[in-house]
Amino acid sequence: MKIEKFVLRKMKMRMKHPFTTSFGTVQDKVFIIVEAYDDQGFCGYGEGDAFEIPWYTEETVESCWHMLRDFYIPRLLHVDFQHPSEVRELLSVYRRNPMAKAAIETAIWDVYAKRMNKPLYQVIGGIRNEVEVGVSIGLQPTSEQLYEKIEQALQNGAKRIKVKIKPGNDVELVKTIRARYPDVPLMVDANSAYTLEDLPLLKELDAYNLLMIEQPLGADDLIEHATLQKELKTPICLDESICSLKDAKTAIALDAGRIFNIKIARVGGIEEARLIHEEASKEGIKMWGGGMLEAGIGRAHSVAIATLTDFTLPADTSGSRHYFEEDLIIPEVVVEKGVIHLPEKAGIGYDVNLDAYERFTTEYLICK
């Protein structure tokens, strides 16, 4: 297959509520869409989910735009390849920048699935057409607001609750949630806000029967995570630390975490995510699909990857309406009793809502 044209779009969607983590607050979701048009007239969509500010990883919307426009599109345009798994190799001459790579690679997977006339989740090896989901709750201004969000999530059938923590807003927070909801499947995510100096505090979290502690230490702190895991009963889940298959292998060798949160965006695409899944499965690492506050297209890709065999824990992917008044796909992603049912249509399985799509576009570039 050949891609004869790419279109890059910069998009902006207002989120219903600000999302706050230990690193900062996102209110406007600014992101990139890649459209890939093949030689048979199929169009595939991918989403670039770096933030505007490099606080979750080092990439930004602008850095992704630059990588896509100046390197990845010229590298892939008019090139003949058999299968989207080859894109990983074709882009490997360029170092890192996984979110930019994922944006274009996922678009090519979507085109390929449409050519095969099969749903993407089946083409990538998914084994189920529904995915259990939990919810990720950002830091809230008051505990009342936090309880309100938890209450809402439980009413909607969320399979587990994840709350963000940061220094000064951690053990006491978890203690009060546990007192109120003794049996709720609960986990915390620190987004790298701690160091090993916080060991005594992190050990206190062991008392609250958490499913896992997500990314307590720095993205580069694999050795430190291994030291911490030895001290904790609660499993550590790695997020920011796993940006490639190589990172996954190192983490496994060090026993730096027993669970992986897998985001296609963070690891550079579907193929890298599949390889990590294969490796982690062999080693008994549990997995689940993470989220990037995606709009519909990225959300569809994230749900598809969560259908792989060993994604056995609830994913972070909420429905479109959780974050946005209006999404850019039809139908929107819907969660019913904590489950997303995957569409059986070819490709990502959702159509672009052209009206909303144009309204959310702030800039575009045609490359052919």
Ligand X SMILES: O=C(O)CCC(=O)C1=CC=C[C@@H](O)[C@@H]1C(=O)O
Residue list for the binding site for Mg(2+): 189, 214, 239
Q: Applying CB under 6 A, which part among 60-68, 122-130, 250-258, 288-296 lies near ligand X?
A: 288-296
> 170 or 189: whose CB is closer to Mg ion?
189
Residue 344 structure tokens: 């059986």
Taking CB under 5 A as the criterion, the residue among 189, 271, 272, 294 binding Mg ion is 189
As a whole number of angstroms, the distance between CA 33 and CA 15 comes to 17
With respect to ligand X, which residue has the nearer C-beta, 291 or 314?
Answer: 291
Contact 22, 165 (CB under 8 A): yes
307: contact with ligand X by CB under 6 A: no
Least distance from C-beta 188 to ligand X, angstroms?
Answer: 11
Q: Is 239 in the site for ligand X (CB under 6 A)?
A: yes
To 10 degrees, what angle do helices 245-254 and 222-231 make? 40
**324 is an interface residue for ligand X by CB under 6 A:** no
Q: Report which of 306, 346, 304, 329 is spatially closest to residue 13, judged by C-alpha positions.
A: 329
Return the biggest CA–CA distance within the chain.
60
Torsion-angle region of 245 (φ positive above 0: left; ψ -120 to 50: alpha; else: beta) = alpha
- Catalytic member of 10, 101, 159, 263: 263
Bin 139: left if φ > 0, else alpha if -120 < ψ < 50, else beta.
beta
Q: Interacting stretch for ligand X, rule CB under 6 A, among 147-155, 272-280, 286-294, 356-364?
A: 286-294
Residues 95-114, buried b or exposed e (16+ Cβ, 10 A)? eebbbbbbbbbbbbbbbbbb
Is residue 337 part of the annotated active site? The answer reads no
Segment contacting Mg ion by CB under 5 A, of 46-54, 127-135, 208-216, 291-299: 208-216
Q: Does 194 bind ligand X (CB under 6 A)?
A: no
Tell me the CA distances in angstroms from 3 to 76, 104, 198, 237, 348, one per residue in order.
7, 11, 50, 37, 18
Q: Dig out the tokens for 143 from the structure.
A: 């505990």
What values do phi and psi take at 153, rounded to 5?
-60, -40
Cβ burial, residue 359 (10 Å; 0-12/13-18/19+) = middle
Does 290 sit near ligand X (CB under 6 A)? yes
Q: How far apart are CA 281 and CA 177, in angstroms?
A: 32
Look up 263 and say whether it is catalytic: yes
Of residues 101, 114, 164, 286, which has the active-site annotation?
164
From residue 133 to residue 172, the character string flagging contacts with ligand X as x (rule: CB under 6 A) and all else as - is ---x------------------------------------
CA distances from 43 to 35, 163, 299, 348 (A): 6, 37, 18, 11
Instruction: Name the binder of 293 from Mg ion, ligand X, none, CB < 5-8 A by kind.
Output: ligand X
Find out whether 95 and 277 touch, Cβ atoms under 8 Å: no
Query: What is the residue type of 121?
Result: Y
Task: Out of 85, 318, 320, 353, point to the residue binding ligand X (CB under 6 A).
Answer: 318
| 56 contact choice in ligand X, Mg ion, none (CB below 5 to 8 Å, kind-dependent) | ligand X
Position with the least CB separation from ligand X: 291
Among 110, 189, 271, 327, binds ligand X (CB under 6 A): 189
User: Binds 314, which of ligand X, Mg ion, none (CB < 5 to 8 A, cut-off by type)?
Assistant: none
Closest approach of Cβ 287 to ligand X, in Å? 14
Choose, by CB under 6 A, the member of 7, 173, 211, 293 that binds ligand X.
293
Does position 292 interact with ligand X (CB under 6 A)? The reply is yes
**Would you tell me which residues interact with ligand X (CB under 6 A)?**
21, 56, 136, 189, 191, 239, 290-293, 316, 318
**Would you tell me which residues interact with Mg ion (CB under 5 A)?**
189, 214, 239
Residues known to be catalytic: 164, 263
